[in-house]
Structure 1
Amino acid sequence: MSSLYERSLKVIPPVAGRATKLGVIKGAGAYLYTEDGRKVLDFASGVAVCNLGHNNPAVVQAAKDQIDKLIHGGHNVVYYESYVKLAEKIVSCTGNKTMVYFSNSGAEANEGAIKLAKYVTKRQAVISFKGSFHGRTLATTSITGSSSKYRENYEGLLPSVYFAEYPYCFRCPYKQNKENCMMECTAQFDDMFKKLITPESVAAIIVEPVQGEGGYIVPPKKFLKELRNICDKHGICLIFDEVQCGFGRTGKLFAHENFGVEPDIFTCAKAIASGFPLSAVIGKKEIMEKWPAGAHGGTFGGNPVACAASLATIKELENGVLDNAKNMGNYLKEELLKLKKKYKCIGDVRGIGLMVGMEFCKENNEPDSDMLTFVRKYAEDNNLILLGCGTEHNVLRFIAPLTVVKEELDTAIDIVEKGIIEYLNR
């Protein structure tokens, strides 16, 4: 009998390719179960979607209960309990200073955030960052700076988009180090405003508080604080894309809580509903109130079942899961740093909570993408799913479920170390 992968080749185009060839039949907790009888430790978590693990019982029950009541009502037609209750909960979690609009995906939320910023400022320009990933629609592709392949054959894109350097301290674009850093990553905006675009023309600066696909890069706190100051000075909306780093991934409900900086608008998706399609544009109340009926919309946003799943997700996160993410994230980094001391091929270990990246390098500190490919394949062959990231495709990202336990982390670390050894001994 043909495998799911083999069957897919006849009906699914190459654009819908996968990171693995695994065919799965069910998931539970940190594990996926394959069609050929394997139990696989999943440290991809559906690309940071299944933060509570697969098929969390509380989320499953909440979804089942909601299905019996209402599957779809149309949020632009009627009001229903799970939508309003979720909005109330998120507003409460953000200090009762925000309002929320629900969509389906991260790209859709980022599109909405950009539209909102343009609408309320009556400006057109957007500043994004090199290494960023914000989605695959035409507008979000326009503000994505992690791979030219995403833009190939789709030009022209959204006009008036400008790219700044992200503070990638391990590979500082300004060739600085922590001892002599002059924060050129913030000074660059003075130059940009002088030579490329006046600040009065900029609607928004959109940034990932922790860069995801770009390499799991954690910026200095003072960088995000200075972005806040720049936006305040010039009336620019500061947008945080928390599609990957939000909803507990960093040990806080929202990633920006780690930095003490409040955005004007931020977006969430992926883990917001533990696998059900849902996203949110969350903005300061005084901004959201300027967004009138008809200025934005959609059919499936805020689906009743997805909203019920999200409410259950938040409850689980608040019931000890966030603490576990923080504790297990610290343990994971400590253990990976031990590997770094043993193997010179590990150039950097970084992250917050359970959003952790390990960067592979050659002897001259150049990126080693071949090593990433080898270690990922070795892990897959030994029942562990890991993903890569980084603009040079040399960063191994650990996206364990936030419910992970030490034994599962130890298993993954042991497999990765054996993969490193095998690569070095080829």
Structure 2
Amino acid sequence: MTLTTDPSTATALGPAPHLTTELPGPIARQIIARDEAVTSPSLTRVYPLVVRRAHGCVIEDVDANRFLDFNAGIAVTAAGHTHPAVNAAIHAQVDDLLHYCSSDFYLPVYADLCERLVALAPMPDARVFLSNSGTEAVEAALKLARHRTGRPNAIAFFGAFHGRSLGSLSLTASKARQRAGFGILTPGSFHAPFFDPYDDTALTGAGYIEQVLFKKLTDPSDVAAIFVEPIQGEGGYIVPPTGWLADLRRLCDEHGIVLVMDEVQSGVGRTGTMWASEHEGVQPDIMCIGKGLASGMPLAGIVARSEVMDWEPGGHGSTFGGNPVACAAAVATLDLVESELAANAKAVGEHLLTALGSLAETWPMIGQVRGRGLMIGIDLPDHDTAAAVELACYEHGLLVLTCGERSIRLAPPLVVSTEQADTAVEILDNVLGAMP
């Protein structure tokens, strides 16, 4: 489809890929050396990219090399990099007010955004709490579920990523190194298998919770919440089958458990609808949002049913959550997603899935191609192969990331064109053809 305002093609940066130096280039190498001398060793820089500027789906590094961005800063720049409408909203708000604490005072743009999110919520009669990051949103959801139910325990899924602070990390079960050395996390956290795309007969989800967890590890009367990603992100971009999420909804209803949908990565139009849960028509009690919400400004939050969000004044707050500049960017982003970007994600995503399906017929090393909208995973034989493809794509001017144990994820900005999608598939074709 042709977007009304299409920064992916109307860009001063020029087309991508366009590589003019070895990678990394000389200026990039200098900055990398400076960075590595002073920054935390916990940061995992997957390839030596040093970004100078970006527009639409094009990244330019400090040596003037241009890359096609198919990770969007980990699914963050929903409206594309430096979208003119988002930039205009940011600049207008900056001229009026940079910050005033929304936990203690009232801000027009905060109310504007919360009204908008309530109108777009997948559940009726909702309320909103805004924070800065996805992990804060998950922490808020965990606190709220415990407060609502008076129960201590929570259930999440193997492969899940819900954040890195202690409460959210207790729910995360993505990589052991994310937990290593941090001692006892939040007690009362249990995990069940997520849907297995290679074995649809395996006991997972609601069935495992009922038959194993509820019988052997935690009585349902002690469970405050079940946390689930409607499409598992860091676990491999896994799409559960129709009915899998509905079974979790049934289970929660039967036992008075709060169903929390973590849409931090899958929400805001990425899967072709505003929220990924809409594909199944399953309504959460609490929804966590973030990443693409403000197209690059730090903003996240929870949207919950009013009867669930019943904590008293002072029960939770955030100094910077709902910052007015971030809220202005979010309102502009939602305008774009509603008017055209969700539809573009659906159309280009379907185009990509078809093209990648053909690629899988050419290269048997591809185990599966799966996804919805612009949240697409490609399974490869093992982690080393996925990491090699990730690096080779960078060397060919395409920015992708791995996820799960052996997957490549494609999550470009929602302004991506079919032409750019075809370029990405062509690069992947060349890279896979060069794999040993």
TM-score (norm 2): 0.91
CA deviation profile, 1:38-62 (whole Å, cap 9, x unmatched): 0111111000000111011100000
Report the alpha carbon displacement of residue 76 of structure 1 after superposing the two structures with TM. 1.9
Q: Percent same amino acid among aligned pairs?
A: 40
Q: Does 1:166 align with 2:194?
A: yes
Contact 1:128 1:162 in 2 (8 A): yes
Specify the SS of the correspondent of 2:249: helix
Matched with 2:432 is: 420
Are 1:221 and 2:221 counterparts? Answer: no
Counterpart of 2:32? 5
1:101-140 equivalence runs, <5 A? 101-140=129-168
Structure 1 residue aligned with 2:44, among 17, 20, 36?
17
Amino acid at match of 2:99: H
Instruction: Check the 8 A contact 1:327/1:353 in 2, yes or no.
Output: yes
2:173 is aligned to 145
1:379 to 378, 393, 409: 393
Matched residues in 1 for 2:228 and 2:126: separation? 19
Instruction: Report the CA distance between 1:35 and its aligned residue.
Output: 0.7
Give the conservation status (yes or no) of the 8 Å contact 2:97–2:324. yes
Residue aligning to 1:332: 352
**Structure 1 position 100 matched with structure 2 position 120:** no
Letter in 1 for 2:68: L
Quote the residue 2:6 is aligned against: none
Q: Deviations over 1:9-62 (max 9, x none)?
A: 111121123222111110100011111110111111000000111011100000
Q: Within 5 A, what are the aligned runs for 1:237-256?
A: 237-256=258-277
In the other structure, the counterpart of 1:357 is 377
Secondary structure, in 3 states, of the residue corresponding to 2:353? helix
Q: 2:308 aligns with which of 273, 278, 287?
A: 287
CA deviation map 1:57-97 (0-9, x unaligned): 10000000001111111012210111001000110112651
Over residues 127-166 of structure 1, what are the superposed CA-to-partner deviations in whole Å (9 max), with x where a residue is unaligned? 0100000001011111101111111111200001110010
* 1:188 alignment partner in structure 2: 208
Q: Which residue of 2 aligns with 1:314?
A: 334
* Conserved? CA contact 1:374–1:419, under 8 Å: no
> Is there any run of 5+ residues in structure 2 with no aligned partner, and where?
1-26
Structure 1 stretches (4+) deviating beyond 2 angstroms?
181-186
Gaps of 5+ in 1: 362-367
CA deviations on 1:175-198 (whole Å, 9 max, x unpaired) are xx4xxx376543212221111111
Q: In structure 1, what is the equivalent of residue 182 of structure 2?
A: 154
Structure 2 counterpart of 1:267: 288
Distance 1:238 1:96, change over 3 A: closer
Match of 1:411 in 2: 423
> 1:409 deviation in Å?
0.7
Answer yes or no: is 1:81 the counterpart of 2:108. Answer: yes
CA distance in 2 between counterparts of 1:145 and 1:183 reads: 18
For residues 317 and 204 of structure 2, what CA distance do their matches in structure 1 show? 39
Q: Which amino acid aligns with 1:77?
A: D
Answer yes or no: is the 8 Å Cα contact 2:124–2:305 preserved in 1: no
> 2:258, 2:394 → 1: CA distance?
42
Q: Would the alpha carbon gap of residues 15 and 183 (structure 1) be closer, same or farther in structure 2, given more than 3 Å must change?
A: closer
- Contact 1:3–1:23 (CA under 8 A) maintained in structure 2: no
Does the residue aligned with 2:302 lie in a helix, a strand or coil?
strand
Please say if residues 270 and 279 of structure 1, whose CA atoms lie closer than 8 Å, have aligned partners that are also in contact: yes
CA contact (8 A) 2:192 2:204 kept: no
Q: Secondary structure at the match of 2:273?
A: coil
Query: In structure 1, what is the Cα distance between the partners aligned to 2:64 and 2:296?
Result: 23
1:303 paired with 2:323, answer: yes
- Per-residue CA deviations over 1:383-415 (Å, capped at 9, x if unaligned) read 11100001x2x1000011111111111111111
Structure 2 contact 160–234 (Cα < 8 Å) conserved: yes
Question: Which string of whole-angstrom CA distances, capped at 9 and with x for unpartnered residues, describes residues 213-270 of structure 1?
Answer: 0000001121100100000000000000000001111011111111110000010000
- In structure 2, distance between residues paired with 1:13 and 1:287: 39
Q: What is the Cα-based RMSD across aligned positions, in Å?
A: 1.2
Residues 1:389 and 2:407 are matched in the alignment: no
TM-score norm. by structure 1 comes to 0.94
